[in-house]
């Protein structure tokens, strides 16, 4: 009988000296010096050194070591020993070992990290064994937890909205068509309309779910399927939402700081160390600043990545851009009461990349219809959505956060594909 794993490698500390443990994981490396043999065992949390020594380790066990290959799955029962010789200060002397699975030579280089991204993505399940990926995705999970905790604290309810939808009339991004029995349906590009509707019942909602965009883009920060963190709150405006986002960013950065040592050892350098008050820069001011830097922009133009990056000179790596011209924003964005050319809207920009976007929304049907018409949309196509506004729609505001971009920017990764387990891009539908 193979015993159950009792400890993760990260839990094997010098304080356990003399204790018996059962470890389970993958053979990272075998260093066979003849009468002493070392096996480095890897699991999700890290590494631990197993020491096999002639005279101390049973001979039968010692003789098994040379047959181990990298990535074989093993379970080891052994005794922990605090050690001056072992670099981590602790090692395990095995008493028994079970080889649960053998591994052939891998198609990706987990050890030297020489494999390029296409090769790694082609064999993604294997690539995910690399210490770097384990650090990225365990951190991603902690970030998600931190975000959820802030939202729950502020009485947001986690919801799920349909990803298969009927309409393609929302405008904007192209939708993927799917067969829905005898009809054509589409994959949702955003939960926008649903989450707004839900503020009329659940008041504050958030959703963490995939979104789909059928755009044939070909860059290192676009995906055709990505995780969107969407939030919407009744009786809130965009300032309230920015306050909330500030708190979220603080929580997220402290989650990263808790992992910083492990990340940096693997060459990942998260650029943010702390988050104070995030500057709220008006669109007008940004335009002026950019003009002063010599950029050819005029009021009404959208800012590109280069310009957003240039603004970090003035405002640091993390800032809000607020009060965009209405022409740059979707139909449901509320205009400023005292300044109808501008809207109660914002983007949160990190290292030049837009990671969150949001606004106060329009909650009056007539106003919404007017905005639709101005953008060439036909209100009658939105009747089921608009009717909700007839039956008690509260004022509301919200945000949409691209989780993979957030992760990429927070960890300083050079390609979004590194921030997704199984990326879907223009040419990649597998694995």
Partner RNA sequence: GCCCCGGUAGUAUAGCCCGGACUAGUAUGCGGGCCUGUCGAGCCCGUGACCCGGGUUCAAAUCCCGGCCGGGGCGCCA
Residue 319 CB contacts under 8 Å (≥ 6 apart), including other chains? 278, 279, 280, 281, 311, 312, 348, 349
Q: Which of 6, 14, 38, 250 forms a contact with RNA (CB under 7 A)?
A: 38
Q: What are phi and psi of 58, to 5 degrees?
A: -55, 135
| Residues in the chain, total | 431
Residues between 44 and 103 with contacts to RNA, criterion CB under 7 A: 49, 51, 53-55, 66, 69-70, 83, 85-88, 91
253 versus 320: smaller Cβ distance to RNA: 320
Paired residues of 101 in beta bridges: 73
Counting contacts by CB under 7 A, is residue 334 touching RNA? no
Contact 40, 12 (CB under 8 A): no
β-sheet with 164-165: strand ranges across? 164-165, 183-187, 177-180
181, 218, 277, 376: which one binds RNA (CB under 7 A): 218
Does 35 engage in binding with RNA (CB under 7 A)? yes
Nearer to RNA, 270 or 400 (CB): 400
Contacts with RNA in 123-142 (CB under 7 A)?
none
- Could you give the angle at which helices 238-257 and 403-411 cross, rounded to 10 degrees? 50
Least distance to RNA from the beta carbon of 328, Å? 7
CB of 8 to RNA, least distance (A): 19
Of 359, 406, 402, the residue nearest 232 (C-alpha)? 359
Q: Is 119 in the site for RNA (CB under 7 A)?
A: yes
Would you count residue 33 as binding RNA (CB under 7 A)?
yes
HSE value, Cβ hemisphere, 13 Å, CA-based, for 92: 30
Choice between 63 and 364, CB closer to RNA = 63
Which residues, numbered 144-203, are part of the site for RNA (CB under 7 A)?
Answer: 170-174, 189-190, 192
Among 213, 361, 363, 396, binds RNA (CB under 7 A): 213
Identify the residue among 58, 118, 394, 431 touching RNA (CB under 7 A).
118
Selected from 10, 63, 201, 219, the binder of RNA by CB under 7 A is 219
**What value, to the nearest 5°, has the Cα angle with vertex 410 and ends 427 and 273?**
165
- Cα dihedral 386, 389, 394, 395 in deg (nearest 10): 50
Identify residues 237-276 at the interface with RNA (CB under 7 A): none
The span from the CA of 103 to the CA of 203, in Å, is 52
3-state class (DSSP) for residue 165: strand
Residues contributing to the site for RNA (CB under 7 A) = 29, 31-36, 38, 49, 51, 53-55, 66, 69-70, 83, 85-88, 91, 105-109, 111-112, 114-119, 121, 170-174, 189-190, 192, 213, 215-220, 222, 304-305, 328-330, 400, 415, 417, 425-428
């Amino acid at each position: 009988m193979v015993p159950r794993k009792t400890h993760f490698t990260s839990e094997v500390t010098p304080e356990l000296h003399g204790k018996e443990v059962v470890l389970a994981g993958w053979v990272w490396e075998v260093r066979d010096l003849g009468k002493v043999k070392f096996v480095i065992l890897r699991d999700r949390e890290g590494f631990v050194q197993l020491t096999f020594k002639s005279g101390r380790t049973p001979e039968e066990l010692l003789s098994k070591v040379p047959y181990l290959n990298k990535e074989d799955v093993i379970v080891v029962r052994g005794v922990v020993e605090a050690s001056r010789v072992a670099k981590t200060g602790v090692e395990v002397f095995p008493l028994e070992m079970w080889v649960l699975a053998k591994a052939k030579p891998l198609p990706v280089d987990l050890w030297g990290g020489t494999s390029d991204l296409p090769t790694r993505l082609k064999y993604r399940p294997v690539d995910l064994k690399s210490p770097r990926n384990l650090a990225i995705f365990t951190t991603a999970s902690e970030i998600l937890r931190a975000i959820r905790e802030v939202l729950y604290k502020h009485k947001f309810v986690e919801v799920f909205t349909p990803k298969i939808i009927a309409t393609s009339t929302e405008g904007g991004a192209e939708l993927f068509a799917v067969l829905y029995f005898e009809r054509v349906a589409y994959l949702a590009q955003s939960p926008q309309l649903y989450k707004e509707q839900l503020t009329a019942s659940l008041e504050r909602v958030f959703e963490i779910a995939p979104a789909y965009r059928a755009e044939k883009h070909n860059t290192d920060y676009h995906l055709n399927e990505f995780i969107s963190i969407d939030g919407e709150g009744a009786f809130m405006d965009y300032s309230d939402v920015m306050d909330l986002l500030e708190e979220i960013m603080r929580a997220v950065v402290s989650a990263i700081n808790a992992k910083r040592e492990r990340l940096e050892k693997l060459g990942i350098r998260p650029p943010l160390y702390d988050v104070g008050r995030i500057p709220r820069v008006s669109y007008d001011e940004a335009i002026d600043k950019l003009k002063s830097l010599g950029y050819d922009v005029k009021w009404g133009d959208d800012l590109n990545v280069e310009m957003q990056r240039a603004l970090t000179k003035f405002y640091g790596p993390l800032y809000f851009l607020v009060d965009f011209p209405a022409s740059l924003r979707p139909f449901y964005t509320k205009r400023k009461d005292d300044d109808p050319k501008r809207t109660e809207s914002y983007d949160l920009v990190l290292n030049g990349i837009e990671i969150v976007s949001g606004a106060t929304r329009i909650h009056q049907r007539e106003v919404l219809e007017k905005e639709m018409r101005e953008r060439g949309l036909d209100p009658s196509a939105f009747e089921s959505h608009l009717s909700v506004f007839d039956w008690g729609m509260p004022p509301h505001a919200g945000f949409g956060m691209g989780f993979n971009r957030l992760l990429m920017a927070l960890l300083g990764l050079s390609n979004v594909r590194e921030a997704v387990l199984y990326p879907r891009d223009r040419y990649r539908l597998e694995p």
